[in-house]
């Protein structure tokens, strides 16, 4: 990358965004008509959440997203109202919706996620091109969230080629996660459960998780694997052979929603700021830990991030 050119924004790509609708109810009872509170509506989808956190942390960001139908219009309005720079890619089908219901009696949360639209090959390519255009001078691109039907197995590899030397972080699951590994992207961020799916075996101990992360790096061209292990922190395996165990500070969990997206956003911010992957990952752990302090679907708060960051340990 030409260092004489100003560093561009962090670019996120959300291929399967959602309008997240949330409400509360006293008790969830089957077959009853449940009277909920007035609903809230927020932008949903991994890439949107990553961009929202990056903006909170003071980093420029551009959110590219596939949007269609009335829900897509509403989602576009919500994103722009938050002050995010949005590059929407119009699709024929309608954007999906998800519903979160908080049960006050138990404190439990019920999340209903509907399937997303199917994208045409032309729509997928338009999303990839919009991302590459936005990332011309960027240090970091994040592809985050589930993949809608219509996204072919070569899409992630084409994105990696299109953005050149720009760091590509992929946070997804299932076959798309395997595609990212096969494409040799710079960093994948699976959970321990998702990592188990990649290696096709149960990972019962932390040592099992670490060995599996090393195995993925050794047997593919992926640059690094950052495995989140919940409240325990994360494990980073790198192509250099270096492995780092990050331990998160112990906090009281209000809600785990958004923790993974906040973690990825922190890593992206670190890379955008010129930090090493190891230091960027430590900052990401602080962001993910800060997110669990926030209730409901709220993301991490900046004050919490900076307070927790020094307490993240590396081994």
Q: Show the domain range for 131.
A: 10-15+46-92+120-314
Does 262 fall in a domain?
yes
Cα torsion angle, 102, 42, 298, 213, sign? positive
Q: Is 199 exposed, middle or buried (0-12, 13-18, 19+ CB in 10 A)?
A: middle
Q: What is the pLDDT of residue 14?
A: 97
Q: Is 165 one of the catalytic residues?
A: no
Q: What is the pLDDT of residue 4?
A: 53
Catalytic residue among 20, 179, 186, 261: 261
- Buried/exposed 50-61: b ≥16 CB within 10 Å, e otherwise: bbbbbbbbebeb
Does 129 fall in a domain?
yes
Contact assessment for residue 224 and residue 194, using Cβ atoms and an 8 Å cutoff = no
Round to whole Å and give the CA distance between 273 and 275: 6
Q: What is the pLDDT of residue 165?
A: 95
CA 57 to mean position of chain CA atoms: 16
CATH code of the domain covering residue 127: 3.40.1190.20
Q: What is the pLDDT of residue 112?
A: 92
Does 127 fall in a domain?
yes
Q: What is the pLDDT of residues 7-48, one digit of tens each?
A: 899 999 999 999 999 899 999 999 999 999 999 898 998 999
Does 27 fall in a domain?
no
Q: What is the pLDDT of residue 2?
A: 45
Report how many domains make up the chain: 1
pLDDT beneath 50: ranges in the chain: 1-3
**Quick check: helix, strand or coil at residue 249?**
coil
Q: Is 28 exposed, middle or buried (0-12, 13-18, 19+ CB in 10 A)?
A: middle
Does 207 fall in a domain?
yes
Tokens 């439990």 belong to 108
Q: What is the pLDDT of residues 254-287, one digit of tens each?
A: 777 788 999 999 999 999 999 999 999 999 999 9
Does 35 fall in a domain?
no
Does 111 fall in a domain?
no
**Quick check: helix, strand or coil at residue 100?**
strand
Contact assessment for residue 185 and residue 160, using Cβ atoms and an 8 Å cutoff = yes
Task: Return the bridge partners of 103, or none.
Answer: 25
pTM over 0.95: no
Does 110 fall in a domain?
no
């Amino acid at each position: 990358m030409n260092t004489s050119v100003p560093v561009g924004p962090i670019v996120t790509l959300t291929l399967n965004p959602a309008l997240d609708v949330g409400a509360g109810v006293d008790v969830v009872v089957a077959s009853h008509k449940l009277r909920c509170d007035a609903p809230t509506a927020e932008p949903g989808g991994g890439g949107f959440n990553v961009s929202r956190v990056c903006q909170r942390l003071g980093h420029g960001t551009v959110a590219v997203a596939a949007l269609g139908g009335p829900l897509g219009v509403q989602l576009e309005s919500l994103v722009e109202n938050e002050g995010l720079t949005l590059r929407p890619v119009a699709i024929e089908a309608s954007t999906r919706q998800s519903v979160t219901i908080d049960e006050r009696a138990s404190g439990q949360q019920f999340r209903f996620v509907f399937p997303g639209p199917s994208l045409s090959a032309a729509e997928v390519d338009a999303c990839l091109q919009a991302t590459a255009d936005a990332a011309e001078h960027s240090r970091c691109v994040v592809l985050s969230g589930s993949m809608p039907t219509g996204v072919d197995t070569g899409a992630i590899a084409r994105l990696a080629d299109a953005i050149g030397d720009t760091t590509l972080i992929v946070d997804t699951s299932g076959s798309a996660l395997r595609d990212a590994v096969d494409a040799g992207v710079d960093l994948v961020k699976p959970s321990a459960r998702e990592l188990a799916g990649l290696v096709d075996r149960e990972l019962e101990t932390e040592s099992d998780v670490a060995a599996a992360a090393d195995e993925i790096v050794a047997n593919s061209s992926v640059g690094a694997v950052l495995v989140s292990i919940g409240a325990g922190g994360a494990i980073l395996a790198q192509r250099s052979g270096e492995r780092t165990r990050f331990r998160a500070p112990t906090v009281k969990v209000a809600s785990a929603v958004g923790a993974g997206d906040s973690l990825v956003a922190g890593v992206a911010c670190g890379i955008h700021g010129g930090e090493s992957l190891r230091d960027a990952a430590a900052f990401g752990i602080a962001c993910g830990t800060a997110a669990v302090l926030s209730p409901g679907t709220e993301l991490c708060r900046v004050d919490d991030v900076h307070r927790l960051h020094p307490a993240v340990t590396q081994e």
